[in-house]
């Protein structure tokens, strides 16, 4: 039987996911804008407002399956100065932003003296601490997942930029089947032995590096 998350779990999970997805998409748009493509800016997507990036199905998925997605920020390679290199940088910006967010949240989780806060702050301190811990995990999951070399995930854009042009074109032909491959991997859990150890190890390192 499917176990629905509690209200408390949703209250922590949804804001954390929305923040992680918003920063991820904003990073794509910001780097594209800096490299000459203003498509995201002109469409109102160069924004830190989560409403600008929400995907209805992806948001519902956060509630139901504890994972979700946002609407991809539009990028038009015609406006980029060096399209292959720039598309690779734009793609990498999303996962890098999640790594930075995870590191910042890990620092707050580790360095704030939670146990010394007065009893009057417990009502706020406990939820914030849990949210920061969840934020580290969520951002690392999004980073690792998006680095998978399966079109249209960010990792595939990076791989494509590194391949010779002929091989990159052949590689791009996988994209129409990308979402089918991703869903099969997700629901069959074939990648779990690789993904989850990587996620937990990276999360542990980010927390421990703060001393």
pLDDT for position 12: 81
Q: Is residue 63 part of a domain?
A: yes
Q: Provide the pLDDT for residue 118.
A: 62
Has residue 1 been placed in a domain? Answer: no
Establish if 183 belongs to a structural domain: yes
Q: Which domain holds residue 31?
A: 7-208
**pLDDT of 1:** 41
**Residue 119 resides in a domain:** yes
Residue 173 covered by a domain = yes
The answer to whether residue 53 sits within a structural domain is yes
Our count of domains for the chain comes to 1
pLDDT tens track for 58-78? 888 877 777 778 999 999 999
Residue 2 lies in a domain: no
In a domain, 30, yes or no: yes
- Where the chain has pLDDT below 70, the residues are 1-5, 117-123
The answer to whether 25 is a known catalytic residue is: yes
pLDDT for 13: 83
What are the Cα distances from residue 13, in Å, to 19, 87, 208? 10, 31, 23
Active-site choice (12, 19, 25, 202): 25
21-60: per-residue pLDDT in tens? 999 999 999 999 999 999 999 999 999 999 999 888 888 8
């Amino acid at each position: 039987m499917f176990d629905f998350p509690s209200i408390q779990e949703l209250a922590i999970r949804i804001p954390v996911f929305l923040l992680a997805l918003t920063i991820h998409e904003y990073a794509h748009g910001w780097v594209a804008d800096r490299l000459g493509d203003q498509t995201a800016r002109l469409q109102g997507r160069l924004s830190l407002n989560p409403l600008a990036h929400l995907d209805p199905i992806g948001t519902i998925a956060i509630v139901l399956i504890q994972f979700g997605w946002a609407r991809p920020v539009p990028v038009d390679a015609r406006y980029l100065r060096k399209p292959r290199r720039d598309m690779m940088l734009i793609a990498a910006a999303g996962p890098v932003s999640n790594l930075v967010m995870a590191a910042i949240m890990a620092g707050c989780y580790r360095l704030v003296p939670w146990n010394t806060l007065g009893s009057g702050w417990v009502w706020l301190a406990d939820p914030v601490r849990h949210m920061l811990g969840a934020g580290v995990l969520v951002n690392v999951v999004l980073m690792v997942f998006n680095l998978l070399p399966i079109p249209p995930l960010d990792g595939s854009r990076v791989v494509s930029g590194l391949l010779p042009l002929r091989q990159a074109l052949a590689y791009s032909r996988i994209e129409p089947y990308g979402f089918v491959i991703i869903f099969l991997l997700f629901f069959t859990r074939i990648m779990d032995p690789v993904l989850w150890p990587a996620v937990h190890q990276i999360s542990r390192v980010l927390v421990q590096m703060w001393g």
